[in-house]
Structures are given as C-alpha cells and as structure tokens.
A and B are shown apart, each in its own frame.
Chain A
C-alpha cells in the first residue's frame, strides 16, 4: 500500500497545549498534504508541503517533512476546542520523471480531541 499512516490513532489534550501528529509513507512523493475532517463532514485542505521543502507554516500549523525517513509531522500550537477533528495526511505519489499519478492516497487519520 502507498497510503500514509498517521500516528497516534487518537490524541486527547487540554486547550492551550500543542498537538503533534505524525505521518509515515512508503514511496517517493511530489508533495504531502494534511486535511482535517469534522465528524460526519467532508475533508478540508489545511496545508501542502512539497518534496523539496522541509518545513512550512500556516497560522498555528507547522508541518515538517523528512523525505529520507519518509515521514511528516503536523504541529498545532495553542490548541482550541474547535480544533477537535480527525486529521489525515495524503500523499501525491511520484512516478517516472517526476510526474504524478494524479490522485492522493490517504491514511486512517488521527482523531484529536481538545478539552476546554
């Protein structure tokens, strides 16, 4: 399988704490994306990091990528109760000559619960 695998499966923290989720994948990628899903809803794109990037920030989100270890992490700083959701990583798999398969492979997600 080329899917990403998130770790941990579930994370429970208090408001104000930082939340870190990890993603590992198996093949070479063009980019890795993180999505958020509120219960019973569709996914919402959060942030994209390209294979030649090591770190990216967007508001309270910080994403790192280590292509040598085939892993990524998503850090949410100063978490809020409204951050409670499932978080998925998705990989855009690289094929010959850097082209893409044209679709994303998703993991099972990390369920984050932030208590007020």
Chain B
C-alpha cells in the first residue's frame, strides 16, 4: 500500500457548504494530483502541483481550488458545494524510478452534495 492518505473517505453535505478534502503523502514526492471520477468513467485531472507553491489547473474545469504550502500536503477546497460536485475525488502523487514515473493513489473521497 502506498503512503498517501485522503480524508474523509465519505462526505455528505448540503448545498452551499464550504468543504476541504485532505490529501497527504509521506513519500517526499514533489508532484501531486487531484483527479475526479464518476462511476464507469475515466479519471479527469482537475489540479496538479509540481512542488511547493506551484499549482496548475488540469484538463477538466473545476470550481475547486488547491494549495501546496508543504510538500506532503495538497488539500482541495470547494467554497460553495453544489449537487453537480457530487463525485469521487482521487488524490495521487508520483515518484520516479529511473526514467519512469508512476502514480500512487489515495483511497479517494466520495462526495455527495444534497
């Protein structure tokens, strides 16, 4: 199992609430990612970071924001949750083995907005 942790595993909240999904890794990886995944669908990259104080938007437009103040921590925040934000959110970090990089994923946060 990879040393990357997401909390909470499940979150059910009402519309308009502000939420933060936590992601931490203890592998010292510089690169971290947030993916969004709906059932039976591909993973969509919504945010990534190549190091402290570096964040970029991914391929799928998202109303969420991220921060990277420490190497090990990459939280995702929704200022005002809506039902359209209901989805699974997966955090990952990548480590290099020679020339190749592979992703290590957390267990995910299943978000339901009522």
Contacts and interface: CB of A to CB of B under 8 A. Distances in A.
Instruction: Please classify how large the interface on chain A is, using the bins under 10, 10 to 19, 20 to 34, 35 or more.
Output: 20 to 34
A42 B43 contact: no
A108 interface: yes
Given A45-B103, A48-B102, A102-B31, A107 B48 contact: no
Contacts, number: 58
A102 B46 CA distance: 14
8 contacts: A35-B105, A42-B105, A43-B92, A92-B101, A102-B31, A102-B101, A103-B48, A106-B43
Interface of A: 3, 9, 31, 33, 35, 40-45, 48, 50, 88, 90, 92, 100, 102-104, 106-109, 111
Interface of B: 2, 4, 6, 31, 33, 35, 40-43, 45, 48, 50, 58, 88, 90, 92, 99-108, 110
